[in-house]
Structure 1
Amino acid sequence: MTARVREFNFFLRDYVNLNSTRTKTLHSRVTAVNTFLTDHSDLGDVLGGDVVPQGSFAHKTIIRPHSGNDFDADVLVPMVEQDGWEPKHYTQALHKALQSSARYRDKAMLGKRCVKLDYAGDFHIDLVPFVTRDDGNTYITHRTRNEFIRQDPVAYTAWFEDNNRTTHGHLVRVVRLIKYLRDRSSVQVPSVVLSALLAERVRSFAGMNDYVNVAATLTSLVKALHEYVDPMSMPPWVDDRIGQNLADRLTQSGFENLKSQLKTWSKLMTEALEANADESVEKWRKLFGESFGTSIREASEGVALTASATSYYEKSPAPGEQDIQKDHGIRIALDPKQRVRVVGRMSPNRKGIGRYRPLGGSGNHVPLGRSLRFSIEGCTVAKPFDVYWKVRNAGEEAASRNMFRGEIRKRGEQITESSNFYGQHWVEAWIVKDGVALATDTQDVTILPN
């Protein structure tokens, strides 16, 4: 197997991923509108907490727009059911509040299920009223039909995040790569359906090498999806995690095109992954085009490139970051039968009032100034054991403030931190028994800017 880790890292960075400037701009806009809504006097008794990223925004699968198109980000606006309000009133109240602001008046457009904030020529944010009703269930609203629609995007995001962890974070990159291929083909499949179909193929009992890197995960999941849908004559049922079918928005012709492309993609991926080192780049180019591997070629020709193309994409080691083997003398012998989950939870608002909610339901996005708790859950290693924790700060702000962190310390089964500055961060735990690390897990934390 030829993984081509560096080539995939650079290809994602330079051609697929939304660049860091646009990502930070999106994060800043979401933070700003969250602050505006939270502080708005007319919404004080209506809002149920901070806005919650959903869809490709929450899953971190937004990609660079194709052919100059803009991109969109969906955000849930939690709202408490109001006596005497019909479904349409929630969207109307949200729109009225935004219309009262000089900042948002010209950007806010009333839609059927949302209020759209259009940042012309770049992206738009869809603000979706998300109502918890007296029956304890959650709903979005349809303004023109004046009805509640039963949905639980938070549960779906938590499920997607759990599957992403099983693939060591590679599921997100696979979805981005497949969306890149989709946008350059005849396939017309909604992103949510495509993402769910791929996530459903993730297996916790998969082979040790199935999810070892981006190339292996991509090939494994696409091959599994091809084998799953190929015998079907109709689109499959795709569960939205509350028993409803996401694939009802997939047309028959779209499904047939997807089946055809999956057959081609799976064949090309398998050939490229199994090719020897001298041939693999050219074989991957049959799939992704001539841009694949060009950044590596530029590097060899003397063009300076950043350190983002490391063996651990998006988790590059920081100066002084500790290693559990080298710095603590603990042997790593991960046992596939032993598992653990690090579950992060954050305070619900700036005042810290209310129940802490799991990070997974918001795609691990956290506003500044929140209290964070990280706990060991579902650990199958028999007690007694020790827990070693690493809290890792990353990103431009961590670098500018020289606050990378990355020390490893033996602590209890729960630790407390706070969201102090913008960037991609993560918390890692190792379960150590008799001096041997048997299980580990990582909780990502994306802290939004002011």
Structure 2
Amino acid sequence: MYDVSNKFNSFYKNHVVLPKEQKKRLFRLKNLNIDRLKEGLKDYNEENKTNYQIVETVVQGSVAMSTVTQNESNDYDIDVAIVFDKGNVLDGTIAVKNMVANALKKKCKQFNVEPEAKTNCVRIVYAEGYHVDFAIYRRFTNENGEYQYEHCGSQWRTRDPRAITKWFIDENKSKNYKLRVVARLLKMFCKSRNDWVMPGGLVQSVLVNECFQSDERIDKMFYETLKSVRDRLILNKEVNNPADQEQSLKLIKKDDVRLERLESRLTTYLNKLDVLSEEDCTLRQAIEAWKDFFNHSYWEEQWEQAKETNAVVAKSYSTTKDVLYDETEEFMEYIFPLKIQYSLSLECKVTHDGWRTMFLNEMLRKRVHLPSSRQLDFYIQHHNVPKPYQVYWKVKNSGDEAKRRNCIRGQIVKTNSETHSERTSFRGEHFVECYIVKNRVCVARDRIEVPIVTNE
């Protein structure tokens, strides 16, 4: 298969992955509308002499799984679970959704379309085209002291608001963090024409996960996975919820039609990529094939640049600039509910041969940055969480050097140890976090910054 992996890397980094500022904007919109709902609930409670209280909010869907892509434009779907205690919410599902919709209406009077109670959520639609879906849950404590959740649809059904996000995180990790890459690229294809209506993002992610084909080259990995998805759809178009295999993700008749379209369009456009496997395939043919596939101006620009720089060669090579790094960071709020009710403080002993022992918090107070090649021994200096509990640690590297080395880390690891050791290696504003989890709820956390100024 003709190798355009360097150009594919650049396409992915610059035109597929949502830029940091746009990600922040989505979370600002999420927070803004949660605040609107909470303020609206206050007014609703005053008027109706009720006391409805949201006890948890959980980001869900493509925002939580970080599979949102640039070509979704303003068609962003921001999914948020709002959770009530079971004893503090009505039993009737229609009544609960109407209550939430009415609370939102009190703070969304500037919207062209009023908040609407739908079968599985309450929706706010922005004039620009994107929308916020509030999925409603209620929780109760089971006999083991753990929270159990029920979703408000046509009836109350047992469902964990974090289950699908956790499934995706685990599957992405098991595939060396490449599942998210292919899922984003498939979404780019599915939204590459304005008149296409294709299966939703979760269905796409389930299919990609089931049919995933690993490869060092991003273009080949994507191509081989899509061939497997197409072949799978020819044989079977049933797609089940990964968190509940007894539940189909095809909820309405239109979902069958959309899966048929996906199979048909994959067949058509994969056939156009057959040229990549021909021995005499040229760079121009390869670029034209991917341009046709993604319908994106980036690929037209690649051919124009190649002509201008006389870079039309039989094979293209990766550059340092185009090398991808694995997005490995995990977030505790996607794994467990957060209910910080106990204290936790971290300290770190910094040692090095011929160098007096110091403590990191003291260095931070004095604004002293760490040099490289130092031993770091982190430990829980104090906490007041009663046993039993579990201890988790997270080490996150940041900066250009961490990306160049493909070493941003950020995984949350259960160790049950109150100490954790590292060494300073390269420049960056890094940090370490520690969490204590009790009855599957994060009840204490702390963070300590680790600023490193020089390389080894």
TM-score scaled by structure 2? 0.60
Give, in whole Å, the separation in 1 of the partners of 2:88 and 2:20. 43
The alpha-carbon deviation at position 311 of structure 1 amounts to: 0.5
Q: How does 1:353-368 map to 2 (within 5 A)?
A: none
The alpha-carbon deviation at position 246 of structure 1 amounts to: 0.8
- Aligned-residue sequence identity (percent) comes to 20
Question: 1:83/1:53 Cα in 2 relative to 1: closer, same or farther (>3 Å)?
Answer: closer
Q: State whether residues 139 and 149 of structure 1, in contact with CA within 8 Å, keep that contact through their aligned partners in structure 2.
A: yes
Give the alignment partner of residue 287 of structure 1, picking from 289, 293, 296.
293
Q: How does 1:190-339 map to 2 (within 5 A)?
A: 190-202=200-212, 210-232=214-236, 235-243=237-245, 244-249=247-252, 251-269=255-273, 271-272=275-276, 278=283, 279-289=285-295, 291-294=297-300, 296=302, 310-313=322-325
Q: State whether residues 137 and 149 of structure 2, in contact with CA within 8 Å, keep that contact through their aligned partners in structure 1.
A: yes
Question: 1:69/1:9 Cα in 2 relative to 1: closer, same or farther (>3 Å)?
Answer: same
Letter in 1 for 2:128: G
Match of residue 345 from structure 1:
332
Computed over aligned residues only, the root mean square deviation of the Cα atoms, in angstroms, reads 4.5
Give the alignment partner of residue 165 of structure 2, picking from 153, 157, 162.
157
Give, in whole Å, the separation in 1 of the partners of 2:396 and 2:139. 34
Match of residue 379 from structure 1:
none
Question: 1:348/1:258 Cα in 2 relative to 1: closer, same or farther (>3 Å)?
Answer: closer
Match of residue 130 from structure 1:
137
Question: 1:260/1:177 Cα in 2 relative to 1: closer, same or farther (>3 Å)?
Answer: same
* Residues 153-204 of structure 1 deviation map (CA, whole Å, 9 limit, x = unaligned): 42122112222223333322322222222232756323322222112223xx
Give, in whole Å, the separation in 2 of the partners of 1:286 and 1:394. 35
* 2:96 equivalent to 1:94: no
Question: 1:309/1:72 Cα in 2 relative to 1: closer, same or farther (>3 Å)?
Answer: farther
The alpha-carbon deviation at position 77 of structure 1 amounts to: 0.9
Match of residue 397 from structure 2:
392
The alpha-carbon deviation at position 245 of structure 1 amounts to: 0.8
What are the ranges of 5 or more consecutive residues in structure 2 without an aligned counterpart?
310-318, 344-389, 421-428, 434-456
Give the alignment partner of residue 80 of structure 1, picking from 46, 61, 85.
85
Q: State whether residues 329 and 396 of structure 2, in contact with CA within 8 Å, keep that contact through their aligned partners in structure 1.
A: no
Match of residue 166 from structure 1:
174
The alpha-carbon deviation at position 78 of structure 1 amounts to: 1.8
Give, in whole Å, the separation in 2 of the partners of 1:37 and 1:254. 33
Q: State whether residues 5 and 215 of structure 1, in contact with CA within 8 Å, keep that contact through their aligned partners in structure 2.
A: yes
Q: State whether residues 91 and 115 of structure 1, in contact with CA within 8 Å, keep that contact through their aligned partners in structure 2.
A: yes
Question: 1:349/1:236 Cα in 2 relative to 1: closer, same or farther (>3 Å)?
Answer: closer
Give the alignment partner of residue 179 of structure 1, picking from 187, 194, 201.
187
Give the number of the structure with larger relative contact order, counting CA–CA contacts within 8 Å between residues 6 or more apart: 1
Give, in whole Å, the separation in 2 of the partners of 1:282 and 1:30. 39
The alpha-carbon deviation at position 293 of structure 1 amounts to: 3.3
What are the ranges of 5 or more consecutive residues in structure 1 without an aligned counterpart?
316-340, 355-371, 376-388, 399-404, 417-423, 429-450
Match of residue 328 from structure 1:
none
Letter in 2 for 1:264: T
Letter in 2 for 1:125: V
Aligned residue for 2:22, secondary structure, equals: helix
- Which structure has the bigger radius of gyration? 2
Letter in 2 for 1:247: K
The alpha-carbon deviation at position 29 of structure 1 amounts to: 1.9
Question: 1:349/1:215 Cα in 2 relative to 1: closer, same or farther (>3 Å)?
Answer: same
Alignment length, in residue pairs? 339
The alpha-carbon deviation at position 74 of structure 1 amounts to: 1.1
Question: 1:156/1:84 Cα in 2 relative to 1: closer, same or farther (>3 Å)?
Answer: closer
Q: State whether residues 287 and 303 of structure 2, in contact with CA within 8 Å, keep that contact through their aligned partners in structure 1.
A: no
Q: State whether residues 9 and 309 of structure 1, in contact with CA within 8 Å, keep that contact through their aligned partners in structure 2.
A: no
Match of residue 333 from structure 1:
none
Match of residue 445 from structure 1:
none
Give, in whole Å, the separation in 2 of the partners of 1:427 and 1:8. 33
